Structure 1
Amino acid sequence: MSEWNRVALETLLQAGVSYGIVQPGTAQGDGIPIVRVKDVRNGEITASDPLRVSPEIESKHSRTRLRGGEVLLTLVGSTGQTAIASDRFAGWNVARAIGVLRPIPEVSPQWLRYYLDSEEAQQYIRERLNTTVQATLNLKDLRALPVPLPPRQVREATTAVARALDDKIAVNGRIATRARLLGFALFSQATLRDDAIEVAVDSACSALTRGIAPKYSESPDDLTVLNQKCIRDGRVNLQPARLTLRERVKAPKLLCRDDVLINSTGVGTLGRVARWTSDGEGTVDSHITIVRFDESTVDPVCAGFAMLRAQPEIEAMGEGSTGQTELRRTQLGGLEITLPSKVQQRQLRPKLDALEERAEHALVESGALAALRETLLPQLMSGRLRVRDAEKIVEDHV
């Protein structure tokens, strides 16, 4: 089957592409909230802590004032991230680094966003970035992005296929979140007992060390090395990981199951905590600290939950000038964590393990579904795969 016709992105938009507020000024506690690059992640907009600007400044940028249904695209820094502004964001605005795309009625925001997320569109964006100072996507290049445009019926069916996968991924995300929250609730309840104990990290661990300076490799036989991007939301994401020469990694810096990993440099990432719950091989780079708890002293799973719960305190420990903040090993070692009694730790461990296993299963399944979506969508959008065949494949997976 031949590919569908393609049209320039700007022909599918009501008023071209616009970017938002260039100079937001001093934050106003009761001002108009705006979406920044940091607020667009994993296809969603975070509304928990928006920057608010004065109504006077916002009123000068009515062109990018959100009504709901716009596709947002990051233009500077972490470029190419997308999200659809739901009705709850009506009245908000966006920062200079965000592009606002309002599709014409004939084209759904979902179709446009799915294409912008495709590897084809992302490659187009990467090839046209101006990286002289900071990665920036020029609006002229964005407007010229060629978008496939099959018949409306095909677009709607394709979007429905992708939504089915996205819905299942969202359900899995909620399962993982609830499992972690239940684990925290059980752990917190156990630490409220009179027999709870406090221990310093360095008195309870067998290893407290930074990772390696990687010698990167492209060989699939080499060792996975995590960087700070891999640690987010209390979990390890292997997608940003790379490979390093295996022979350069000494045994103490090879990851062991239930190690705690802590981002230890830089503003915005320092202090993030995650647990390594895999039996697979891996290591971390020198921006991450490995905390390995001694099982003869404390239960490593319970201690890991204590470290996760202590993340706000760890984040506040950084020292140094702006952009060069460091978390020193002695600081981390002196951190005191509250744990249940040893008897309670033994009783709590299997419950926490079961919850974490359930969450891990959901997240692994989501990864497989996301990979399936990335495989199917380009073929559907180009016309190389019929929708009915894709629907059958999706049914078999969800």
Structure 2
Amino acid sequence: MSKSGRIGSSAVVPASIKKGDWNIYEGVALLRVDGVEPHYVAAFLNSKYGHSQIRRELKGVAQPHLHLEDIRRLKLFVPEPHEMAEVSALVLGGTGRAQCAHRLFQDALAALETELGLDKLTIQKTVGYATQLSNIEVSRRFDPEHYFPAFSTFCAGLPSRVALSPLVNHLEFCQRGKQPVYAKTGLPVINSKHVQPNRVILEGNRFALANPVDDLQIRAGDTLINGTGRGTIGRAAPYISDTPAVADNHVTILRSSSLDPAYLSLYLNSAAGQMQVEMHQRGTSGQLELYPFDIRKFLVWPAPGELQRDLRDLYDKATKAERESKRLLDQAKTRVEQLIEAAVQP
């Protein structure tokens, strides 16, 4: 169970994990409940009756957290064995579909990296490296990260069938969002935390008024890339929802008619894309920035249509498995709530 951040979120350690494979982080509590199936326990803690108790036990204001003694005070509803087994089966089905989605995402990324020769690429960690003064004059960059030879080594070893070209040649639109005008209702706001590798989170978003500039509305088929923050910068994801959304000023919208958004997202999240993120980012460790004018300089591979379609097919199968996982896990939480409500009815 998470004690900080997404406080109260609970999950079961997979059976495939062997003793000693994982260490526990201080922000996570390890629970072992005697006589109660762990998948049921996770469903209960994730249900509204679990979360309502957890919220009451929170300590702190600016940074809420949960102590172990607070967790011990939580009351657990234990149903009949066959009811517990029913909930556990739903949780197992949901986690199984989530694992399937993860494998499909990894298969798509691995297939692309194999085509690019990244599976055979070896980068030597040298003590130092050099560049030409003319390169500094042209780029106006003095930061050593910009000249790290990883990407040039990748380009030198590309298979003959792969030819890179500037991303700007394949874009109709490349611009950061603007600071949203937040409201109680309106369009969902997409910020950096919602743009995860190859997926956009559309849960718990705040709402904002539509942007007066229509092009700055996120549309189905756009690709989003984070432009700020260590750990978040350079993460890319396709936007496949039919519901328009608003990007905040840390998210850049990419729009292309020749590159499938799922394919472009996979490329940007691959080693080929991330090497260019490190090469083109600006600023200090306190505030890193990836600006649209630098994103346009990225070199991408306009892969054959057949390959783009194959990778999109894997991507669609993965997102379908994710939706099915969410449905089953939500069903498990709902079933726990129904069992509790039935038990307390007079």
Q: Which interval holds the TM-score relative to the shorter structure?
A: 0.7 to 0.9
Aligned-partner Cα distance in 2 for 1:93–1:356: 31
Give 1 or 2: higher strand fraction: 1
Unaligned runs of 5+ in 2: 119-154
Deviates more, 1:203-212 or 1:177-186: 177-186
What are the residue-to-residue correspondences of 1:117-132 with 2, within 5 Å? 117-132=46-61
2:104–2:315 Cα contact (<8 Å) kept: no
For 2:178, the equivalent position in structure 1 comes to 212
Counterpart selection for 1:200 from 144, 156, 166: 166
2:163–2:301 Cα contact (<8 Å) kept: yes
Q: Which has the higher contact order (CA 8 A, sep 6+)?
A: 2
For 1:299, the equivalent position in structure 2 comes to 259
Q: Which amino acid aligns with 2:287?
A: Q
SS in 2 for 1:110: helix
2:268–2:274 Cα contact (<8 Å) kept: no
**1:121-151, Cα deviation, whole Å (9 max, x unpaired):** 1232234323344221133322211211234
1:176–1:362 Cα contact (<8 Å) kept: no
Q: Tell me, yes or no, if structure 1 residue 156 matches structure 2 residue 104.
A: no
- Let me know the Cα RMSD of the aligned residues: 3.2
State the shift of 1:376 in Å. 2.0
State the shift of 1:91 in Å. 7.1
**Distance of aligned partners of 1:97 and 1:352 in 2 relative to their CA distance in 1, 3 Å threshold:** closer
For 1:109, the equivalent position in structure 2 comes to 38
For 2:195, the equivalent position in structure 1 comes to 231
SS in 2 for 1:125: helix
SS in 2 for 1:136: coil
**Distance of aligned partners of 1:144 and 1:242 in 2 relative to their CA distance in 1, 3 Å threshold:** same
1:187–1:348 Cα contact (<8 Å) kept: no
1:183–1:355 Cα contact (<8 Å) kept: no
**1:130-187, Cα deviation, whole Å (9 max, x unpaired):** 3344221133322211211234454334323433444345445544544554466567
Q: Which amino acid aligns with 2:337?
A: P
2:236–2:265 Cα contact (<8 Å) kept: no
What are the residue-to-residue correspondences of 1:20-31 with 2, within 5 Å? none
State the shift of 1:244 in Å. 1.3
Work out the percentage of aligned pairs sharing the same amino acid.
Answer: 24
Counterpart selection for 1:363 from 319, 322, 328: 322
State the shift of 1:264 in Å. 1.3
For 2:214, the equivalent position in structure 1 comes to 251
State the shift of 1:262 in Å. 0.7
TM superposition score normalised by structure 1: 0.65
For 1:241, the equivalent position in structure 2 comes to 205
**1:257-283, Cα deviation, whole Å (9 max, x unpaired):** 332211111121111111123343223
For 2:27, the equivalent position in structure 1 comes to 97
1:180–1:359 Cα contact (<8 Å) kept: no
Q: Which amino acid aligns with 1:95?
A: Y
Aligned-partner Cα distance in 2 for 1:144–1:304: 45
2:91–2:328 Cα contact (<8 Å) kept: no
**1:213-263, Cα deviation, whole Å (9 max, x unpaired):** 1222333xx2122122222232222124332112x3421111233322111
2:94–2:324 Cα contact (<8 Å) kept: no
Counterpart selection for 2:275 from 288, 293, 313: 313
State the shift of 1:361 in Å. 3.0
Q: Tell me, yes or no, if structure 1 residue 83 matches structure 2 residue 11.
A: yes
Aligned-partner Cα distance in 2 for 1:357–1:239: 19
Count of residues in correspondence between the two structures: 301
